[in-house]
């Protein structure tokens, strides 16, 4: 079987996109051969994503800014003719899991394989004739949440099996397909479109602006925001405690989504007009009924709504800050977002590590902006600072966190990269 990707091209990609990519692929090829006694023909890179700003706005038809990052899942493939799929991952001790494309059922023990099966189910539901494959996954994404390793896995599977089927779909179509897979019976997580869209649509040195309001012709509207000039000399860095693990379907995520939905008829009555999502509520409108809403014994609901309404405005203001080259304003918006997510949306519930991780960075003079990142209920943050301060920042925060919690932090400084795709 002829190899469909070039080490030469990957070397060029590594030099400006993801350090160490070539070595990871070479090591994955060796393991692939050990597992399957043949060489892979197809290589997919599916990055993690950073939610820059726009926290829990996706399922409220709101706005977000995100980026595909320079950490990824590498997926290697060889085709099979028997309709079977065998898959292994270095994140799960490379144990092989084999199943038939004709009998896709939920796996009771190896939960991660259900993401794979869910995507394959959605591809078949879309009328795509899939062929079997041997697959090996190699990841340098932390699995504790925040950079969306699950959505990266979904896109890695979608890209690979679509390529083997010689079928093309748009980036947004692939994102929607993978979202359905995660929402569906195999996984059952009520996530929005943010994670999959960020990974599918990512562009190098740019942020992805997503308007999640569906139209007659598209499930969302996207725009690429060049951040080169505004963020020249600045770096994003993610801090994550990998020992704090959570699953969105088992946390307060569904409860918060439900509360947002339950607020709509109440707010419609207060406004005297029907609304279908919180993105239809402006900041002045919210302030006009905030006191009355809270006085009616709905204090928690009021807090949740306030976060979403103001967060949508912060995203729109962030686009303006980047367009006008105002990194200081942009950083202030990031910090406001983080404070709102914790104090109003309660995303550090039962997670004292997140509370402190945000606070210890917010108090530093070298931090331009700091916020939690991801769905919450895990210890992961996103900071913006001058690149010249990066080394001292990571050293100092790591030492302080170790002293307080006795655990090590992992730091991910990244550049924005292209989204998931087959490496040629």
Q: Is the dihedral of CA 297, 298, 303, 309 positive or negative?
A: negative
> With bands split at pLDDT 50, 70 and 90, how would you rate the model's confidence at 415?
confident
15 and 158 inside one domain: yes
Separation CA 347–CA 377 (nearest Å):
6
**Mean pLDDT across the stretch 251-278?**
94
18 and 162 inside one domain: yes
- Provide the pLDDT for residue 248: 56
In a domain, 357, yes or no: yes
199 and 252 inside one domain: no
Show the domain range for 314. 234-415
Separation CA 213–CA 23 (nearest Å):
41
In a domain, 38, yes or no: yes
264 and 200 inside one domain: no
Q: Answer whether residue 247 shows pLDDT above 70.
A: no
Under 8 Å CB-to-CB from 209, ≥6 apart: which residues? Answer: 63, 64, 65, 222, 223, 224, 225, 315, 319
**Mean pLDDT across the stretch 150-165?**
97
285-288-290-296 Cα dihedral, nearest 10 degrees: -120
Q: What is the CATH number of the domain that holds 160?
A: 3.30.230.10
53 and 147 inside one domain: yes
Q: What is the CATH number of the domain that holds 331?
A: 3.30.70.890
Q: List, for residues 173-210, the tens digit of each pLDDT value.
A: 999 999 999 999 999 988 888 899 999 999 988 999 99
259 and 360 inside one domain: yes
- Provide the pLDDT for residue 4: 83
305 and 378 inside one domain: yes
155 and 273 inside one domain: no
In a domain, 216, yes or no: yes
Domains identified in the chain, total number: 2
In a domain, 1, yes or no: no
In a domain, 373, yes or no: yes
Separation CA 389–CA 395 (nearest Å):
10
- Provide the pLDDT for residue 99: 97
192 and 289 inside one domain: no
**Mean pLDDT across the stretch 95-107?**
94
Separation CA 348–CA 361 (nearest Å):
15
% of the chain exceeding 90 in pLDDT = 80
In a domain, 163, yes or no: yes
In a domain, 2, yes or no: no
Under 8 Å CB-to-CB from 221, ≥6 apart: which residues? Answer: 210, 211, 213, 215
239 and 222 inside one domain: no
Instruction: Kindly state the tokens that stand for 61.
Output: 């038809």
**Mean pLDDT across the stretch 23-29?**
95
Separation CA 148–CA 164 (nearest Å):
25
219 and 263 inside one domain: no
In a domain, 326, yes or no: yes
Distances in Å between the alpha carbon of 319 and those of 48, 65, 323, 372? 22, 8, 6, 19
Confidence (pTM):
0.88
Q: List, for residues 336-371, the tens digit of each pLDDT value.
A: 999 999 999 999 998 999 999 999 999 999 999 999
Distances in Å between the alpha carbon of 334 and those of 98, 306, 371? 44, 16, 6
Q: List, for residues 210-219, the tens digit of each pLDDT value.
A: 999 988 888 8
- Provide the pLDDT for residue 15: 67
238 and 120 inside one domain: no
């Amino acid at each position: 079987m002829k190899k469909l990707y070039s080490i030469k091209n990957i070397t060029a990609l590594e030099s400006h996109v993801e350090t160490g990519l070539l070595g990871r692929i070479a090591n994955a090829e060796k393991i692939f051969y050990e597992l399957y006694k043949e060489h892979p023909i197809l290589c997919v890179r599916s990055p993690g994503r950073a939610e820059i700003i726009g926290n829990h706005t996706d399922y409220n038809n709101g706005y977000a800014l995100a980026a595909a990052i320079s950490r990824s899942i590498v997926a290697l493939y060889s085709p099979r003719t028997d309709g079977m799929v065998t898959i292994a991952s270095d994140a799960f001790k490379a144990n092989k899991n084999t199943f038939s494309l004709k009998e896709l059922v939920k796996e009771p023990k190896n939960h991660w394989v259900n993401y794979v099966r869910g995507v394959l189910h959605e591809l078949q539901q879309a009328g795509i004739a899939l062929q079997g494959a041997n697959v090996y996954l190699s990841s340098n994404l932390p699995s504790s949440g925040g950079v969306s390793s699950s959505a990266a896995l979904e896109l890695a599977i979608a890209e690979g099996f679509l390529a083997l089927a010689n079928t093309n779909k748009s980036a947004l179509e692939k994102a929607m397909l993978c979202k359905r897979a995660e929402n569906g019976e195999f996984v059952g997580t009520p996530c929005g479109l943010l994670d999959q869209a960020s990974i599918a649509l990512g562009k190098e040195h740019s942020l992805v602006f997503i308007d999640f309001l569906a139209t007659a012709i598209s499930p969302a509207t996207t725009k690429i925001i060049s951040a080169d000039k505004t963020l020249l000399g600045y770096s994003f860095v993610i801090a994550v405690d990998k020992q704090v693990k959570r699953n969105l379907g088992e946390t307060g995520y569904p409860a918060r989504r439900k509360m947002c939905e339950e607020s709509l008829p109440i707010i419609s009555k207060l406004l005297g007009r029907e609304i279908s999502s919180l993105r239809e509520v402006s900041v002045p409108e919210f302030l006009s009924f905030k006191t009355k809403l809270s006085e009616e014994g709905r204090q928690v609901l009021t807090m949740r709504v306030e976060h979403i309404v103001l967060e949508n405005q912060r995203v729109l203001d962030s686009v303006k800050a980047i367009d006008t080259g105002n990194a200081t304003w942009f950083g202030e918006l990031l910090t406001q977002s983080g404070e709102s997510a914790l104090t109003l949306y309660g995303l550090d519930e039962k997670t004292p590590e997140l509370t402190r991780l945000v606070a210890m960075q917010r108090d530093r003079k070298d931090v331009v902006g700091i916020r939690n990142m991801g769905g919450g209920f895990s210890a992961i943050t996103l900071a913006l600072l001058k690149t010249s301060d990066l080394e001292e920042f990571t050293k100092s925060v790591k030492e302080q966190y170790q002293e307080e919690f006795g655990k090590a932090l992992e730091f991910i400084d990244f550049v924005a990269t292209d989204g998931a795709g087959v490496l040629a």
